[in-house]
Amino acid sequence: MDAEIEEDLKVEDIDDACTVFEINYMTNIAPQRHNSLNGSGGPWYKVETLVREQAKDGEEFHVLAGTTFGDAPIKMIGNPNDNRPDTIGVPHMFWKVIISDGHAFGFLFEHDGQLHPNDLGCPLREPEVRNCLAPLTEIETLAGIDLFSDLEATGTEIPIDVGAVLAQSNGLFGE
């Protein structure tokens, strides 16, 4: 390889480069409305930004994230002119759970205009991230998983209430 080109390809933070490489698998991506969910100003983007800011202060976080599909018809995307059957379903909702300092709290984001029947989750243009907080038990039910089954098996307890107070006590909202 040309030395001049090699210089342009140097990675400043090899851990970050490895992480980016490790997470960019087809099994780890989902169609998202960039401008209203994870683009600048979207609620997903805001939560990720808050976590990054706290992590810069040396706090350790564990983040779990995923998608859910509700009862509404699933929109499929893909090239309609391609005769392949492998189109991709667009999730109805996205969720994110943050574990910090022995506490866990979750966020639920609607993605296709279909809010959870109990009005959980926040709409795409929600300006206040704290309005996206949702009970972890609801996220687990929607996703069909038990987020903390391994911890429960070891006898470790993590408070799993919605945690608006928890989130504030952990400084996630800068309070």
Binding residues for Mg(2+): 38
Pick out the residues of the known binding site. 38
Instruction: Determine phi and psi for 11, rounding to 5 degrees.
Output: -105, 125
Query: Using CA atoms, how far apart are residues 175 and 55, in angstroms rounded to an integer?
Result: 16
- In a 10 Å sphere around its CB, with 0-12 CB exposed, 13-18 middle and 19+ buried, how is residue 21 labelled? exposed
**Residue pair 170/62 in contact by the 8 Å Cβ criterion:** no
